[in-house]
Amino acid sequence: MKLICSKSNLLHGVNIVSKAVPTRTTMAILECILIDASANEIKLTANDMELGIETKIEGEIAERGVIALDAKIFSEIVRKLPDSDVVIETDASFKTTITCEKAKFNIVGKSGDDFSYIPYIERNEAITLSQFTLKEVIRQTIFSIADNDNNKLMTGELFEIEENHLKVVSLDGHRISIRNIELKNNYEHKKVVVPGKTLQEVSKILPGSAEEDVNMFLTDNHIVFEFDDTTVVSRLIEGEYFKIEQMLSSDYETKVKINKRELLDCIDRATLLVKEGDKKPIIMNVTDGNMELKINSFIGSMNEDIDIVKDGKDILIGFNPKFFIDALRVIDEEEVSLYMVNPKAPCFIKDDEGKFIYLILPVNFNASTV
Amino acid sequence: MKLICSKSNLLHGVNIVSKAVPTRTTMAILECILIDASANEIKLTANDMELGIETKIEGEIAERGVIALDAKIFSEIVRKLPDSDVVIETDASFKTTITCEKAKFNIVGKSGDDFSYIPYIERNEAITLSQFTLKEVIRQTIFSIADNDNNKLMTGELFEIEENHLKVVSLDGHRISIRNIELKNNYEHKKVVVPGKTLQEVSKILPGSAEEDVNMFLTDNHIVFEFDDTTVVSRLIEGEYFKIEQMLSSDYETKVKINKRELLDCIDRATLLVKEGDKKPIIMNVTDGNMELKINSFIGSMNEDIDIVKDGKDILIGFNPKFFIDALRVIDEEEVSLYMVNPKAPCFIKDDEGKFIYLILPVNFNASTV
């Protein structure tokens, strides 16, 4: 095989497919990036058997062929090459020479025969949304997937399509994040659970332009994302996702309108008194026109008042501050509304149009110490 | 005690003195920053018994007093306060209230009585140089102090003053870095060894302006740096520094003029084939007009040619690539000159004016494998 392409094209492609290279594996071939120039195009592929990424790069094929190169070494070499044309040449024993200007690297590759190509997925109708929207939706929900494997379904996100509507849900047992998106077309009803890791990697490699689209294809076992010159194929998580409708009530006893930045900054300040593992709640004392936030820990105490618009009853309620910070950080609106029923029932952070719902369970606290 | 100062002034002061707070200590009082408002000015101090830093901050003293506050908690609180006036108030039992806008923190401080103030040093004649020069000199020599305590003197840098000349030297047994600076005034001959840690911290807090000066005072046991509103006092390392004059010869058999950026990039590329602990030398093969650089490791091999101007004999010589990278990174000149005698004798990187000398010992290699 012999091919010539620019360092920047090569690096761009390597950075994309590297996201699917497993960090730990017993199969050495999976630690490789496959360069496939056996036909009329140059394709880079990596595959950890759950997630596979393939991308095409521009370049000239002087001699057709296929080679698998250690992903770590190859990407480090490419990154450090001068910004010029790169020639990659292999011989029958998989010896690979990478030349760029006067620099010449020799490494040993592997046969592409043992490489597991990404599975071929029959494409049905494409679900289309903008790169920007998909990237935003992932950012605004990914933080509330579970961080351990105890319940596999909690490590993924629900993607539910109904007519021209996409609902994305993540939950970890203490909170739920929901994003609703309107699609341009109508689709059949479909419900899948996409691994969180897949979404994290897709979000990293998505350029995120509002003008460019992503095509998604759903099958029983796989989801495919297609954008620009890149194809991402991921297994789905099997099983029936949690029924969340029964947890979402629109009744409330207290509604609070509050400046998002002020609330976020205040909770952020309060958490510096809480060291890891020390589960101190932040207490919100809601009265007419005012929310007092308080935290008490071994280190000290902090309190702060924020102006609010209150509708309904006064309430004294406690939360894990991290859950509020996570949700507030991804909300773009300047002002948010909190809906509460009582100190034991979940608090909802919602907008009026129903674009997002963040549900956060309160925590118990000893009211006498407040 | 009660004092009022702006968040930005307070944060600036806290960031400066924090550099002298020990990371590990059995004396809890040393983990504190002392706020001393017992006279007409607000002074912050931290002291790890080797290195002490004191800085003055602007502010209003409403009630005189002294308090010691846990450095980590206090600096985190200050960092997260809104950008406004901060009020610090303490009571007789060292309870401290920090108020800024509507945010109010309560923490418990300690009496300042147990705090070890930085020692009073009798000021003799000040040695004056610009902040920029001192910061540059530290950056250009600090990388070659020893990274372990086996020889205490190697963990510091020699500061030698002779007439209007300051020489700064660091060495670790494999290499020597020397910087020569011309001073504005003439001084008595003095020779001290300053701890590397002191220089690292001074370099971090020095604003580095070319218009502003630093005053240095040397005594038998201490060095003092004074700049802006800050005073740094450090113990010196005791003992007689290494005699380096006999290692510095101006004879050479080969002189190479080379573009610094090309040489640095090439060695940097080569090192990606060398994993930690794997001591592969970079081999330089110097011939007329050309330097070929080669490296061979378990991962692969790399070679590259660089145009040079050669004066004298051809030479084949090997080096630890890290030592070359460290020295080349801190040299500002576009072109550097290397002086070599034979493959067993040190290589010198020098400029014509004698501002800097970097001596690097070569390593043995098996010439037959090259």
Q: What is the DSSP string of B176-205?
A: EEEEEEEEEEEEEEEEEEEEHHHHHHHHHH
Q: Do A105 and B301 touch (CB under 8 A)?
A: yes
Asked if B300 and A76 come within 8 Å (Cβ–Cβ), the reply is no
pLDDT of B330: 97
Q: What is the pLDDT of residue B345?
A: 95
Decide: A142 and A233 in contact? Cβ < 8 Å.
no
Question: Best mutation site among A102, A274, A295 for testing chain B: the one with the most B CBs within 10 Å?
Answer: A102
Residue in B82, B105, B269 nearest the CB of A80: B269
CA-based radius of gyration for chain A = 25
- Are A77 and B107 a contacting pair at CB < 8 A? no
pLDDT in tens, chain A (370 residues): 999 999 999 999 999 999 999 988 888 899 999 999 999 999 999 999 999 999 999 999 999 999 999 999 999 999 999 999 999 999 999 999 999 999 999 999 999 998 988 999 988 899 999 999 999 999 999 999 999 889 999 999 999 999 999 999 999 999 999 999 999 999 999 999 999 999 999 999 999 999 999 999 999 999 999 999 999 999 999 999 999 998 888 899 999 999 999 999 999 999 999 887 778 999 999 999 999 999 999 899 999 999 999 999 999 999 999 999 999 999 999 999 999 999 999 999 999 999 999 999 999 987 766 6
Point out the residue among B80, B107, B303 whose CB comes nearest to the CB of A104. B303
How many domains does chain A divide into?
A: 3
**Does residue A121 lie within any of the structural domains?**
no
Q: Is A82 in Cβ contact with B265 (below 8 Å)?
A: yes
Q: Are B121 and B224 in contact (CB under 8 A)?
A: yes
Q: Is B106's CB within 8 Å of A301's CB? A: yes
Selected residue of B102, B264, B290 to mutate for chain A interface (largest A Cβ count, 10 A):
B102
Tell me what pLDDT residue B96 has. 98
- Asked if B82 lies within 8 A of A301 by C-beta distance, the reply is no
Question: Residue for token digits 């003029």?
Answer: B257
CB B322 within 8 A of CB B258: no
Contact A231, A51 (CB under 8 A): no
C-alpha B36/C-alpha A338 separation (Å) is 44
Residues A95 and A139 in one domain: no
CA distance B90 to B68: 10
Q: Which of A76, A104, A265 sits opposite B272 (nearest CB)?
A: A76
Which contacts of B322-326 are long-range, i.e. CB under 8 A and separated by 24 or more positions?
B322/B271, B323/B174, B323/B175, B323/B360, B324/B263, B324/B264, B324/B267, B324/B282, B324/B360, B325/B264, B325/B267, B325/B268, B325/B271, B326/B143, B326/B144, B326/B175
Cβ atoms of residues B336 and B324 within 8 Å: no
Angle between helix A131-139 and A196-205 (nearest 10) = 130
Q: Do A300 and B106 touch (CB under 8 A)?
A: yes
CA distance A120 to B195: 63
Rounded average pLDDT per 10-residue block, chain B, 370 residues: 97 98 89 96 96 97 97 96 97 97 96 91 92 98 94 97 97 97 95 97 96 96 97 97 90 96 96 85 97 94 97 97 97 96 96 94 81
Residue B29 lies in a domain: yes
Cα A71 to the center of its chain, rounded Å: 23
Cβ-based contacts of A108 with chain B (< 8 Å): 300
Number of inter-chain CB pairs under 8 A, A vs B: 67
Residue A147 sits in the same domain as residue A164: yes
- Interface contact A105-B300, CB threshold 8 A: yes
Q: Are A267 and A338 in contact (CB under 8 A)?
A: no
Residue of A nearest to B306 (CA): A102
Q: Are B135 and B50 in a shared domain?
A: no
Interface contact B107-A269, CB threshold 8 A: no
**Residues A214 and A314 placed together within one structural domain of the fold:** no
Contact A269 B304 (CB under 8 A): no
Residue A265 CA from chain centroid, whole number: 24
User: Closest-CA residue in chain B for A275?
Assistant: B73
- Chain A nearest-CA distance from B22, in A, is 20
Closest Cα in chain A to B82: A265
Name the DSSP letter for residue A201: H
Q: Which two tokens stand for residue A288?
A: 């007419």
Q: Output the pLDDT for position A59.
A: 97
Cα radius of gyration rounded to whole Å, chain B: 25
A119 lies in a domain?
no
As a dihedral over the C-alpha atoms of residue B259, residue B264, residue B270, residue B273, rounded to 10 degrees, the angle is 180
Residues A312 and A365 in one domain: yes
Q: Does one domain contain both B135 and B185?
A: yes
Q: Measuring CA to CA, how many Å separate B115 from each of A339, B48, B191?
A: 50, 11, 31
Cα separation, B156 vs A331, whole angstroms: 51
Look at residue A369 in the predicted model and tell me its pLDDT. 65
Chain B nearest-CA distance from A367, in A, is 19
DSSP A223: E
Token code pair at residue B316: 């084949």
Q: Provide, as residue numbers in chain B, all residues whose Cβ is less than 8 Å from the Cβ of A295.
A: none
Residue A313, Cβ density class (10 Å: 0-12 exposed, 13-18 middle, ≥19 buried): middle
SS3 label, residue B45: strand
CA nearest A168: which of A124, A232, A216? A216
Residues 6+ apart with CB under 8 A from A304: A266, A269, A270, A292, A293, B102, B103, B104
- What is residue A285's predicted lDDT score, i.e. its pLDDT? 97
Report the C-alpha gap between B273 and B292 in whole angstroms.
17
In what helix (H) or strand (E) does residue B3 lie, and over which residues does it extend?
A: strand B2-6
> Given B239, B257, B288, which residue is the final one in a domain?
B239
Q: Verify whether the Cβ–Cβ distance A77 to B272 is below 8 Å.
A: yes
Cβ count within 10 A of residue A63: 10
Helices (H) then strands (E): counts for chain A? 6, 23
pLDDT score, position B126: 95
Of B102, B105, B305, the CB nearest to A300: B105
CATH number of the domain enclosing B148: 3.10.150.10
Q: Give the C-alpha distances (Å, rounded to integers) separating A189 from A133, A164, A219, A247, A362.
A: 20, 10, 12, 22, 34
Mutate to test the interface with B, among A90, A302, A306 (most CBs of B within 10 A): A302
Pairing, β B230-235 against β B222-227:
antiparallel
Asked whether residue A233 falls in the same domain as residue A256, the answer is no
The answer to whether A269 contacts B302, with C-beta atoms less than 8 Å apart, is: no
Burial class (CB within 10 angstroms; exposed 0-12, middle 13-18, buried 19+) of A226: middle
> B212: distance to nearest CA of chain A, Å?
36
Residues of B in contact with A73 (CB under 8 A): 272-273, 299-300
Q: Is the residue at A330 inside a domain? A: yes
Q: Do B77 and A103 touch (CB under 8 A)?
A: no
pLDDT score, position A275: 83
On whether residue B121 sits in a domain, the answer given is: no
Chain B partners of A80 at a C-beta cutoff of 8 Å? 265, 268-269, 272
Whether B221 and B267 map to the same domain: the answer is no
Indicate if B14 and B58 belong to the same structural domain. yes
Rounded distance between C-alpha atoms, residue A213 and residue B53, angstroms: 57
Q: Do B304 and A104 touch (CB under 8 A)?
A: yes
Domain boundary among A92, A114, A136: A114
Question: Domain span at residue A10?
Answer: 2-114
Q: Which DSSP string corresponds to A232-301?
A: EEEEPPPSPPP--GGG-----SEEEEEEHHHHHHHHHHHHTT--TT--PPEEEEEETTEEEEEEE-SSEE
CA atoms within 13 A on the CB side of B82: 17
> What pLDDT was estimated at residue A246?
87
Judge if B276 and B318 occupy the same domain.
Answer: yes
The CA distances from residue B87 to A6, A99, A288, B169, B280, in Å, are 59, 63, 28, 46, 59
Confidence at residue B369, expressed as pLDDT on a 0 to 100 scale: 64
Distance, in Å, from the CA atom of A269 to the CA atom of A91, rounded to the nearest integer, reads: 61
Q: Are B213 and B230 in contact (CB under 8 A)?
A: no
Q: Is residue A41 in a domain?
A: yes
Residue A181 and residue A147 share a domain: yes
* The domain boundary residue, chosen from A226, A245, A264: A245
Q: By C-alpha distance, which of A129, A172, A135, A177 is closest to A151? A: A172
* Nearest in space to B71 (alpha carbons), one of B82, B63, B79: B79
Q: Flag if B265 and A105 touch (Cβ within 8 Å).
A: no
Among B69, B105, B264, most A C-beta atoms within 10 A, so best to mutate, is B105
**Residues A227 and A214 sit within 8 Å (Cβ to Cβ):** yes
* Residues from chain B contacting residue A301 (CB–CB below 8 Å): 105-106
- The CA distance from A316 to A224, in Å, is 46
Which of A105, A276, A294 best tests the B interface by mutation, with the highest count of B CBs <10 A? A105
Q: Which residues pair with A192 in a beta bridge?
A: A159
Interatomic CA distance for residues A154 and A146, integer angstroms: 5
Instruction: Give yes or no: residues B137 and B221 share one domain.
Output: yes
Q: For residues B236 and B221, what is the distance between their CA atoms, to the nearest angstrom?
A: 5
Q: Where are the alpha helices (DSSP H) in chain A?
A: 7-18, 71-80, 131-139, 196-205, 260-271, 321-330
Q: Which residues of A touch B303 (CB under 8 A)?
A: 104
Q: What letters, b where the CB count within 10 A reaches 16 and e where it falls short, cover B69-88?
A: bbbbbbbbbbebbbeebbbb
Residue A81 with chain B: CB contacts under 8 Å: 269
Contact assessment for residue B128 and residue B184, using Cβ atoms and an 8 Å cutoff: yes
Residue A244 identity: I
Looking at the complex, report in whole angstroms how far the Cα of residue B42 sits from the nearest Cα belonging to chain A: 24
Give A-chain residues touching B306 at CB under 8 angstroms. 102
Contacts of B103 in chain A (CB under 8 A): 266, 269, 302-304
